[in-house]
Amino acid sequence: MVELLDKKFTSFITKEEIDKEISNLAESINNNYAGKEVVFIAVLNGAFIFAADLYRKITVSSSISFIKVQSYEGMQSTGSVHEVIGLTTDIASKHVLIVEDIVDTGITIEKVKTLLNLQKPASVEVCSLLFKPEAFEGKEIPKFIGFSIPKRFVVGYGLDYNEKGRNLDEIYQLKEQNCSQNTMLNIVLFGPPGAGKGTQSERLIEKYGLKHLSTGDIFRYNMSNDTELGKLAKSYIDKGQLVPDEVTIQMLKDQVLQNQEAKGFIFDGFPRTNAQAEALDQLLKELSTEISVMLALEVEENELKNRLKKRAEVSGRADDADPKVIANRIQVYKNETEPVKAFYQKQNKFIGIDGIGTIDEISMRLNEAIASI
Ligand code: AP5
Ligand code: MG
């Protein structure tokens, strides 16, 4: 936690996460502008640190220039943009990339784009480290976005609160706004393949208004869109093995950070290793909240195999189609995932749930368990 003037701020996005995201952004920009000449225009003051770190990873032919506009006073976006000052570079017929620390309502950036377009550049795009989708009122979202964040006041890594905090090397959020998060209901819905995690999650999100985070579903979404993450995940999932912790933890963290306004989370299929459980505890602690309970659906092996065999007829999931892969998923569960129960037992947060019966019966058992915490 840090204190700036009269306010307290808690950690939000770490230095490591920022570094990694900047490398991703630089790679996308280098690919997008391959063979072209680009003029980077960084918007002072906020973008100075981001622009410096990003620009050192740029390999396409380019130059950088800095402009200044006034749009923030205190903690409210005033929406009033004055003139753009400091642009000395000739941008006519050139590809321009505006570098921003944050795009909030988008009013500033719209006006900057309009002013730059008067000089007839070949193109004008925006790269913003942070983007607030809920606050955005502009026409076109930035082409390159580092992190989409909720409507929070953030400082650090170039961003300020009344000119303080720009020198912090990570991004912090205003503390008052996440005090209520310790009242969140955060459930780990646990169980072997076919136990009914997905089926029961659907009921729980409806009843309690929670955000459902299924790592399996997120991997499958990436697989169907053939993303790099999807290709990597497929090589493990099709064999019934776990996707490496490093990849899974980062993906889960991104999802939690993007959904901080939720009343709580259902973690379905995560954590599956003790390392994942520890990382989840740490992340929730940083957000001033914690896991409320682990609800573990208990279903015997033959029933699991029968359910998955039946689901294979409709699911289209490659990992359901082969009985050997199903057997491997169950074995991996026993060896690597089941020990996670002890992690929550030690914290007195474990509740076992009989997972045999009708879907309604099991929902009732889950609701009773939630009422008991
Ligand atoms: P994931 O998608 O999580 O799959 P899973 O754990 O194998 O579980 P399933 O989704 O198959 O089953 P479920 O418990 O959700 O049951 P469902 O409700 O569908 O993970 C897939 C893969 O991704 C993993 O193998 C791994 O490679 C990777 N992965 C994911 N998370 C990871 C992580 N954290 N770390 C590393 N790798 C990760 O129900 C099953 C069927 O039974 C359905 O047809 C349903 O209709 C039926 N059914 C449900 N309830 C009942 C009932 N009461 N009676 C009869 N039938 C029922
Ligand atoms: Mg599932």
Pick the ligand that lies closest to the CA of residue 314: 1
Does the fold of domain 179-371 match that of domain 2-174?
yes
- Measured at the CA of 77, the angle between CA 286 and CA 135, to 5 degrees, comes to 65
Give the 3-state secondary structure of residue 22. Answer: helix
Tokens read off for 15: 């230095």
The per-residue pLDDT for range 235-274, each reduced to its tens digit, is: 999 999 999 999 999 999 999 988 888 999 999 999 999 9
Mutate to test the pocket of ligand 1, among 200, 219, 231 (most ligand atoms within 8 A of CB): 219
pLDDT at 181: 55
- Ligand 1 pocket residue status of 243, Cβ below 6 Å: yes
**Residues taking part in catalysis:** 100-101, 104, 153, 166
Pick the ligand that lies closest to the CA of residue 230: 1
Q: From CA 267, how far away is CA 241, in angstroms rounded?
A: 19
Protein fold of 2-174: Rossmann fold (3.40.50)
Domain positions in the chain are 2-174, 179-371
Given a cut of 80, whether residue 97 has pLDDT beyond it is yes
Between the alpha carbon of residue 233 and those of residues 79, 237, 242, the distances in Å are 43, 6, 9
The per-residue pLDDT for range 7-48, each reduced to its tens digit, is: 889 999 999 999 999 999 999 999 999 999 999 999 999 999
Protein fold of 179-371: Rossmann fold (3.40.50)
Tokens read off for 233: 């995940």
Q: Which residues pair with 59 in a beta bridge?
A: none
Q: From CA 117, how far away is CA 125, in angstroms rounded?
A: 11
Q: Which residue has the tokens 């840090």?
A: 2
The closest-lying atom of ligand 1 relative to the alpha carbon of residue 269 is 3
- Ligand 1 pocket residue status of 329, Cβ below 6 Å: yes
In contact, 173 and 186? CB cutoff 8 Å: no
Give the 3-state secondary structure of residue 31. Answer: helix
Q: Could you tell me what percent of the chain has a pLDDT over 70?
A: 95
In contact, 89 and 42? CB cutoff 8 Å: no
